[in-house]
Amino acid sequence: IVEQGERVFRLSISAGQKEFVPGVVSPTIGINAPYLGPTLEMRRGERVRLHVDNGLDDGATVHWHGFELPAAADGGPHQLIRPGARWSPSFEVRQRASLYWYHSHLHRGTGPQVYAGLAAPIYVRDDEEDALDLPSEYGVDDIPLIVQDRVLDNSGKLLYPQNMHAQMMGVRGDRLYVNGTQNAVFDARTGQLRLRILNGSNARFYDFSLSGGQTMELIASDGGLLDRPHAVRSLRLAPGERAQILVDLSEGRPLSLLATSPDNSMGMMGNGGGMMGGGMMGRRRDDARTDEPFRILDIRPSGSSPRRNLPPQLAALPALDPSLAVRTRRFVLDMGMMGGGMSINGASMDMNVINERVPVGQWEIWEIANASMMAHPFHIHNVQFRVIDRDGHAPPPLETGFKDTVIVNPREQVRVLLRFEEHSDPDTPYMYHCHILEHEDAGMMGQFVVV
Ligand code: C2O
Ligand code: CU
Ligand code: CU
C-alpha cells in the first residue's frame, strides 16, 4: 500500500561477494549491491516508505539510525524480517538535515551482519541548511565516508573473529576501508570539500586529522549543523557517531585524511598486564597500530581556486536548558569480569523486559555512567539529544549540537538532555545501547517505551 505523497525506496538485502584482496572472493551482505548499499536521500517533512526485502537465508532487520519515528518503524530487534519476507515501514522524516545511516539491528547478530556489509548512509536535507552557502553536490563537493576496519585471514578472506578477546574488546581490524575501498583516492574539482564522516566500524574509535597539520572546519554532528564552524585539528568518532567537516583545497595541494586509533583498552589488555593478568592475551595484531596513522583518503585537487568563505553562523540552536528536565534517569554501563557481564544497570538485554517507560513530551536528563575500564559509545533511539556535561565539564565542539550517540569514557559520567516529542506506543520498545556492536550483541542494551 502506498499513500499519495509518500516517497518510495526499494531495498533488497542479499548475499554478495567482494574481493578484499584481488582474486580472493569473500561472502558479504549488501543492499541493492554486493556489499554495503546505496545512499538514501530524504527531505525533512516528507513521508517515506521503504520496502525492504530480505533475500538472505537468515533473519535481518534494518534500523534507521538517528531517526525520530514510530517504534514499529524503527527497525530494531523486534522488527525481524524473516528470510524471503518484505518489511515496509513508513514514516515522516522529522529530524534536521544531516548524515544518518541504516544498518542491521538483528538480535544478537548485529555485529556480524554489519561487518558483512549490512550498512549504508542516509542524507537528510532541509530548507534551513539549503539556505546556507555550503557544498552540497553529492559526489562532487559533498561526499559520505563510511569508515570501517576489517580483518582478513591468511588467504585474504574476510574474517569475523569470535575469540574471547574480540568479543570483549569488540572486533577490530588492521585494514581500513572507506566506502568499502582501501587506500581510497578522491579527485576534487572544487576548492572546498565537504566530508560527511560516519564511523561505521564495529568497535574501533578513530581520531581523524588532515596531513600537514591542516585544520578542518567542523560544521555538523550526528543531528545536523552546529551553531558555527569550529576549526579543529583532530576529531574523535566512536562507532555510530558522525561528523561533517569542510576541507579547504584552494591552494591546490594534495592532502590526505588520516585516522589514528586511540587505545580503548585503558590498561585492560595493555602490555600483557592489567586485569587480564600475565601474557595470556598480550597485545594482538589488531590492537597494535594505535599511533601509526592510517591514510584513509587521498584528496587530489585539480588546481588552485579562490578561497571560499565559511558562513560565520550555521544554525540557530535552541539554548540548552537542563532546568527544563522533570526527572533524571541513570544508566550504568558495565562489562562484568572478562566481558562476561555486558549490562546496563546490572541487567543484560532481555527482549521480554521493558527497562524504562518514558512519558512523551517531557524533558529528562539521562545520566550515563561507565563503571568499566573501556570507553563505550552510548546510543539512544528515536531522539536527538544535547550533551549537558561530562563529569561536570563543558563538552567539546562536536558535542555542542545534536547527538544520538555519545562516548562515555571509563569512570566518567555524561549527562544528556532529551525529550521524545511524539510516537508514544506502550507496546513497542526502542533501544538504548553501546554501539560497540559486540557489546550490544552480548547484552549492553536496554529497552524503553514512550508512553
Ligand atoms: Cu545504530 Cu541501535 O543502532
Ligand atoms: Cu539507532
Ligand atoms: Cu561498549
Average pLDDT of the segment spanning 246-262: 96
What pLDDT does 64 receive? 98
Ligand 1 lined by 386 (C-beta under 6 Å)? no
- For residue 442, the ligand closest to its alpha carbon is 3
Range list of β-strands (E), 22-174: 24-31, 40-43, 47-54, 63-65, 86-87, 90-92, 98-103, 119-125, 142-152, 158-159
Ligand 1 lined by 66 (C-beta under 6 Å)? no
Ligand 1 lined by 63 (C-beta under 6 Å)? yes
Give residue 105 CA to ligand 2 midpoint distance, Å: 9
Ligand 1 lined by 439 (C-beta under 6 Å)? no
Ligand 1 lined by 242 (C-beta under 6 Å)? no
Q: What is the number of the ligand 1 atom nearest to the C-alpha of 432?
A: 2
Ligand 1 lined by 379 (C-beta under 6 Å)? yes
Average pLDDT of the segment spanning 411-439: 97
* pLDDT tops 60 at residue 58: yes
Mean confidence (pLDDT) of the chain: 93
Average pLDDT of the segment spanning 361-375: 97
What pLDDT does 291 receive? 60
Average pLDDT of the segment spanning 210-238: 98
Return the H-helix or E-strand segment holding 447.
strand 445-450
Nearest to 427 by CA among 115, 97, 36, 70: 70
Q: One fold for both 6-128 and 142-301?
A: yes
**Beta bridge mates, 334:** 343
At 274, which amino acid appears?
G
Q: What is the number of the ligand 1 atom nearest to the C-alpha of 433?
A: 2
Q: What is the number of the ligand 1 atom nearest to the C-alpha of 76?
A: 2
Give residue 334 CA to ligand 3 midpoint distance, Å: 8
Ligand 1 lined by 105 (C-beta under 6 Å)? yes
ipTM over 0.85: yes
Structure-block grid coordinates of residue 239: 562507532
Confidence of residue 266 (pLDDT cuts 50, 70, 90): low
Ligand 1 lined by 229 (C-beta under 6 Å)? no
Give residue 377 CA to ligand 3 midpoint distance, Å: 6
Ligand 1 lined by 381 (C-beta under 6 Å)? yes
Residues 322-450: name the CATH superfamily: Cupredoxins -  blue copper proteins (2.60.40.420)
Q: What is the CATH number of domain 6-128?
A: 2.60.40.420
What pLDDT does 265 receive? 62
Fold of 142-301: Immunoglobulin-like (2.60.40)
Q: Which residue has the higher pLDDT, 340 or 118?
A: 118
Give residue 434 CA to ligand 3 midpoint distance, Å: 5
Confidence of residue 270 (pLDDT cuts 50, 70, 90): very low
> Can you give the pTM of this predicted structure?
0.94
What pLDDT does 331 receive? 98
Q: Residue 407 — φ and ψ, nearest 5°?
A: -75, 135
Confidence of residue 275 (pLDDT cuts 50, 70, 90): very low
Ligand 1 lined by 65 (C-beta under 6 Å)? yes
Give residue 63 CA to ligand 3 midpoint distance, Å: 19
* pLDDT tops 60 at residue 97: yes
Ligand 1 lined by 423 (C-beta under 6 Å)? no
What pLDDT does 3 receive? 65
- For residue 433, the ligand closest to its alpha carbon is 1
What pLDDT does 283 receive? 37
Q: What is the number of the ligand 1 atom nearest to the C-alpha of 240?
A: 1
Q: Where are the domains of the chain?
A: 6-128, 142-301, 322-450
What pLDDT does 340 receive? 77
Residues in the chain: 451
DSSP 189-229: -SSEEEEEEEE--SS--EEEEEGGG--EEEEEETTEEEEEE
Nearest to 436 by CA among 333, 317, 301, 361: 333
What pLDDT does 1 receive? 57
Ligand 1 lined by 78 (C-beta under 6 Å)? no
Ligand 1 lined by 44 (C-beta under 6 Å)? no
Q: Are 242 and 195 in contact (CB under 8 A)?
A: no
Give residue 430 CA to ligand 1 midpoint distance, Å: 10
CA distance 105 to 128: 31
Angle at 178 between CA 175 and CA 184, to 5 degrees: 90
By alpha-carbon position, which residue is closest to atom 1 of ligand 1?
Answer: 65
